Amino acid sequence: MSWKVYLAVGVGSGAGSVLRYAISLATMTAFGGYFPWGTLLVNVLGSGLIGWLAATISRFPHTQLARWQPLLIAGFCGGFTTFSLFSLETIHLIQHGYPTFALLYVLVSLPLWLMAVWLGERIALSRPPSQ
């Protein structure tokens, strides 16, 4: 495990984090700050992307895309999605007297994350084998 792999993960994660932050600012401007739409959106998109990338790379392991795996998967997808903000937002909703919203947030997020990763994989596997 060389330092280059760590560097690639760092660059991908930094880029993913900036994009996550930009999306959370944009959704706050668009929908307000009552419900954490931004985090929900990045976690669903990031789950879909990791499903697509992992399946595509395992199908075509000798491509340019496969070479970028640490930057894209552990780096970008990892940095783009966030579990700590998801936890903080859930607790924040409870503390501010919205336990129903907190429960709804958890019960909506989890199936959407898992459906997104499954869908991403499906899309990758449905592509014709020639690339």
Partner 1 sequence: MGHGITGLLLVALGGALGGMGRFAVSNIMAHLLGNAFPWGTLIVNASGALIAGWLLGYFDMLITQPLWLFTIAGLLGGYTTVSSFSLQTLELWQRGQAPRAALNIAATLVLGLAMAILGWLLGTGAQ
Which residues are at the interface with partner 1 (CB under 8 A)? 1, 5-6, 9-18, 20-21, 24-25, 43, 46-47, 49-51, 54, 70, 73-75, 77-88, 90-92, 106, 110, 113-114, 116-118, 121
Cβ within 8 Å of residue 9, ≥6 positions away: 70, 71, 74, 75, 78
Cβ at position 80, least distance to partner 1 in Å: 7
Is 90 annotated in a binding site? The answer is no
Least separation in angstroms between CB 30 and partner 1 = 15
The answer to whether 81 is annotated as binding is yes
- Residues marked as binding for Na(+)? 78, 81
